Structure 1
Amino acid sequence: MQASGPEPSSPLADSDNEFRKLDAELRAAGVDTSQFGFYDQPSSLNPTSLRESYARWVQLRPRDAAYDAHLRTVVPKLCELIISAFEADNWHGGCVEASTMMARMLDRLGIWSFSVIGSTTFEVLTRGLCCGFYRHDFQDFQDAVLGHAWVVIPPYGVVDATVALQQWGYDPITQFLPAFVAAENTRRILPHVSDVVSWRMRSHFDFTDGYLDEALHLRLEPDLTKFGLDFPAVQIEEGPLNMRYVPLHIYMSDGPLETINHGGAMGRSGGDIWDQVVAPVLGEV
């Protein structure tokens, strides 16, 4: 009779074990993981490692039905409130500010999250439409932020409140965009060079290198494969629209909510938007 080995563990058990191990490592490094936003606490970890550990901890953190119900009430409403504030300020292209504001606001609302920056592409095959916000591109104007930013709020794999409030101009893709993205059902994908690097940047490297490099994204982002094991690229389908989100870096605010966009060239600060728009509606949720 053939001897059998131990039964394989379940993915849920593996996640729980990883969470317990990570939580213990963070506490050993001097981090109080009971506190929202613990990525900015003093610790023996370097800031990048602590941010990535925070994001992974948030992903693995056990949740219950009551927490998920609270979250599903708050997150869509928060997206709507952020949109209303940005529209009132005629603020387009503020994805970084919006995502970092939302993460700090969610801390106050008792919801764990983290913000990321990366590349996002949009495609409607039936119309031959394809465009994107690429992390590796040429700046169209001074101080332009390359790429796109969004929030991960488990079980939401992508929450993008400003998808329709970017610098779209008259791009025909806009007729297919949702007001915001709050997607639980995402499909994990392997990023292609065209997800991360714009065609004009690829053409530049083609000219200087003498060949078209199909792995240029891995040359420009050498940690992408490893990073993607914990923070994978995903595809979301909204009718005929395919949206591909490729996270490249955990991107969190270095300061409290009140400092985000304080004195910015356009729009209100995170503190003002919280006080004037969000707290009156969600402060007691």
Structure 2
Amino acid sequence: MPWVLSNEQTQRDLERRFARDGVSFTDAGFCDSPEFLKQERRDARYLELYARYVEARTYDEAYLADAARKIAVVADTVRAAVQVDGRLGACVDASGMIGRMLDKLGVWNYVAKATLTIDFPETSGLSPRYFWAFDHGQFAAPHAVVIAPPYYVVDATVKYQPYDAGRDTLVPSIVLADTFQGAQWRPEDLANHDLLQEIRRRRHRFNEFLLRQNPGMASVLEQLPSRAVMHGQTRLKYAVVAVGGTVEPLEGITGYKPSGRTALTIFEQDVLPKLGLLESRSA
């Protein structure tokens, strides 16, 4: 399948920007280069340019086929580790691991913080499940996924979130979406119902609230398209609200260790052998 988000004009524009800034853009993961990090210190939103570049690049069939295999192995391996560990809501940590593993493998990707709206089959009688950007409490992100061509969404933890009323049985164990439906985000996708009622009570428009409250989010929503994928009759809509990932390289990810195993251990003992790139090592 071709990567339908490729945009030659956007790619050229971004390459001119990177060249002007002294940033080499030839290799996947160039966002970790000293030149890129220098620009990021000047502009906290510079990483968004990398995300846009990953989506806009042109990829040949050979690359996409090789990347698809690597992504599938990495994502399912991390998914399995999260399942065994049993922690719910590990999307930020797990997606960060996946992104760093793909960087090691030379696979173009970025980690996206996203809202997620799950519409269940009408026959189920279940109301939608929302992961809002504007909600009660403190959290790193409403949800986190990886965008890695040829997959428009890589979601290894969608199953491992708090659900009730049988919703978990209608959610896929993993999302590896090589196709998607174009989707428009709605205020209901981004903010909890109480907040929306308060905004309406004050006769404000949500777009105005968004621009005032978080102009960076408004920009990302405009630059990186929302997308919906189907799992049977269940519809999952993702709206990218920020570009994230881990600051640490794979070797430095030690905060979340599924079942006591570091990201690097999982990569070396599970991922590389499955890809035929390294014999399995003992712990």
TM over 0.5: yes
Alignment partner of 1:66 is 2:62? yes
Going from structure 1 to structure 2, the CA distance change for 1:146 and 1:225 (only over 3 Å counts) comes to closer
Q: Distance in 2 between matches of 1:263 and 1:21?
A: 37
Tell me the equivalent position of 1:53. Answer: 49
Task: State the 1:82 CA deviation.
Answer: 0.8
Q: Distance in 2 between matches of 1:102 and 1:145?
A: 17
Q: Distance in 2 between matches of 1:107 and 1:147?
A: 24
Tell me the equivalent position of 2:132. Answer: 134
Alpha carbons 2:126, 2:167 under 8 Å: kept: no
For each residue in 1:113-147, what CA deviation from the matched residue of structure 2 results, as whole angstroms up to 9, or x when unmatched?
001102101111512321121111112xxx64440
Q: Distance in 1 between matches of 2:194 and 2:100?
A: 35
Tell me the equivalent position of 2:169. Answer: 175
Task: State the 1:211 CA deviation.
Answer: 5.3
Alpha carbons 1:120, 1:245 under 8 Å: kept: yes
For each residue in 1:166-185, what CA deviation from the matched residue of structure 2 results, as whole angstroms up to 9, or x when unmatched?
233x3422111111111122
Q: Distance in 2 between matches of 1:184 and 1:266?
A: 27
Going from structure 1 to structure 2, the CA distance change for 1:118 and 1:22 (only over 3 Å counts) comes to same
Tell me the equivalent position of 1:272. Answer: 265
Number of aligned residue pairs: 266
Tell me the equivalent position of 2:224. Answer: 231
Q: Distance in 2 between matches of 1:266 and 1:82?
A: 9
Alpha carbons 1:232, 1:247 under 8 Å: kept: yes
Alpha carbons 2:68, 2:149 under 8 Å: kept: no
Alignment partner of 1:92 is 2:88? yes
Alpha carbons 2:81, 2:258 under 8 Å: kept: no
Structure with higher Rg: it is 1
Map 1:1-285 to 2 at 5 A. 15-43=7-35, 45-47=39-41, 48-126=44-122, 127-139=125-137, 144-168=139-163, 170-203=164-197, 205=198, 210=202, 214-215=206-207, 216-217=209-210, 219-260=212-253, 262-264=254-256, 267=259, 268-282=261-275, 284=277
Unaligned runs of 5+ in 2: 279-283
TM-score (norm 2): 0.83
Alpha carbons 1:196, 1:217 under 8 Å: kept: no
Task: State the 1:35 CA deviation.
Answer: 3.3
Look up the SS of the partner of 2:247 in the other structure.
Answer: coil
Q: Look up the equivalent residue of 1:115 and give its one-letter code.
A: V
**What is the aligned-residue RMSD (CA, Å)?**
2.6
Alpha carbons 2:199, 2:206 under 8 Å: kept: no
Alpha carbons 2:68, 2:151 under 8 Å: kept: no
Q: Distance in 2 between matches of 1:128 and 1:263?
A: 35
Look up the SS of the partner of 2:7 in the other structure.
Answer: helix
Alpha carbons 2:113, 2:141 under 8 Å: kept: no
Q: Distance in 2 between matches of 1:102 and 1:275?
A: 13
Q: Look up the equivalent residue of 1:248 and give its one-letter code.
A: V
Look up the SS of the partner of 1:26 in the other structure.
Answer: helix
Q: Distance in 1 between matches of 2:10 and 2:258?
A: 42
Q: Distance in 1 between matches of 2:92 and 2:220?
A: 20
Q: Distance in 2 between matches of 1:283 and 1:220?
A: 48
Tell me the equivalent position of 2:281. Answer: none
Q: Distance in 2 between matches of 1:103 and 1:125?
A: 31
For each residue in 1:200-241, what CA deviation from the matched residue of structure 2 results, as whole angstroms up to 9, or x when unmatched?
4435x359x545855455554434453233201112222211
Alpha carbons 2:82, 2:258 under 8 Å: kept: no
For each residue in 1:33-54, what CA deviation from the matched residue of structure 2 results, as whole angstroms up to 9, or x when unmatched?
2333221323352353431111
Alpha carbons 1:259, 1:269 under 8 Å: kept: no
Unaligned runs of 5+ in 1: 1-11
